Amino acid sequence: MLLMITLGCLADIRPDGLTDDEARGRALLEAAADAAGGLERWHAVEGSVATMSDEWPSPYRMFSPWPEAHQRLTMTSIHHTFDTRVDFLDGGREGWSWGGSDWRVWEARPSAEPGWAKNGDAAFILPTMHYFLEFPFRMLEAPIARYAGAETLGDVTYERVFVTWEGVEPSREFDQYVIYIDPATARIAKAHYTVREIAGFVTGTMHFEDIREVEGIRFPFDMVVTASPGDALDDYLHRAVVESLTLGPVDEALFLR
């Protein structure tokens, strides 16, 4: 998904201005979830189906988990889980499917039954894309959410929340996030993060753009990954653009159990 190599063995993205104020940090995240449609509405929907493309331009193509540098696909996700299925719509693996269920990965080729597989690319990218599409709601699951002060980027002064698990100190097991919230909308505009699953020194920034409402829930239809929060969007490492997104029940037959 999304990366920038930083110096040192273990990236620590705790920002200047980080406080011990859990109440304010939690309140900002809850307001962001409300601005995205609210937990009640999100919990009432079983899942989503998104048709999208993900582009990894040169020289970042070498980091892409997809078969193609510009991959078009359909992603089916079950909310409240990391169960995800991707069906490739073009390229050399058109007609293939990748899936993740209960943290195991499976593959299906055209006219063949799905089977469990060792596929590190799928194991990483499927839950990652799923997570970022539902980001305002997923961030509420984190046990640590501390107010991190304000930062001005361009002409916007964002409120920041530092989010992680277990402890504030960096660890090799748990990621860190710095969430940037636009006070004009209360919505999450971007997130700087570590990627421990790839390497301890890897970081990136997701910019949530082109927010659209689907049945009362707001989703980013343009997810742009750069190295740092202040980077220009046209200097991206990769960019996922959603063509269409629908909500509703999910056919369990689409998943290998």
Annotate 135-149 with DSSP letters as a single string.
Answer: HHHHGGG-SEEEEEE
Is 56 domain-assigned?
Answer: yes
- pLDDT digit string (tens) for 31-71? 999 999 999 999 999 999 999 999 999 989 988 999 999 99
Is 96 domain-assigned?
Answer: yes
SS3 100: strand
Is 257 domain-assigned?
Answer: no
Q: What is the mean pLDDT of the chain?
A: 94
Is 195 domain-assigned?
Answer: yes
Is 243 domain-assigned?
Answer: yes
Indicate the burial class of 81 (C-beta count within 10 angstroms; 0-12, 13-18, 19 or more): middle
Residue 24 and residue 157 in contact, taking contact as beta carbons nearer than 8 Å: no
The residue behind tokens 């504030």 is 168
Amino acid at 170: P
Is 17 domain-assigned?
Answer: yes
Residue 94, token pair as written in the block:
């058109």
Indicate the burial class of 169 (C-beta count within 10 angstroms; 0-12, 13-18, 19 or more): exposed
Please work out, in degrees rounded to the nearest 5, the angle formed at the alpha carbon of residue 250 by the alpha carbons of 247 and 253. 155
Supply the pTM of this predicted model: 0.94
Is 172 domain-assigned?
Answer: yes
Phi/psi of residue 211, nearest 5 degrees = -75, 125
Continuous segment of H or E residues that includes residue 104: strand 104-108
Amino acid at 229: P
Domain count, the chain: 1
Cα 170 from chain centroid (whole Å): 20
Distance separating alpha carbons of residues 180 and 231, to the nearest angstrom = 14
3-state helix, strand, coil in the chain (%, to 5): 20, 40, 40
pLDDT at 4: 46
Distance separating alpha carbons of residues 109 and 231, to the nearest angstrom = 39
Q: Which domain holds residue 243?
A: 4-249
- pLDDT digit string (tens) for 183-241? 999 999 999 999 988 888 899 999 999 999 999 999 999 999 999 999 999 999 999 99
Is 45 domain-assigned?
Answer: yes
pLDDT at 6: 44
CATH, residue 197 = 2.50.20.10
Distance separating alpha carbons of residues 83 and 168, to the nearest angstrom = 28
Residue 103 banded pLDDT, cuts 50, 70, 90: confident
pLDDT at 140: 97
Distance separating alpha carbons of residues 78 and 92, to the nearest angstrom = 27
Cα end-to-end span (Å), the chain: 25
**How much of the chain exceeds pLDDT 70, in percent?**
97
pLDDT of 8 above 70: no
- Tell me the sheet residues that pair with 211: 220
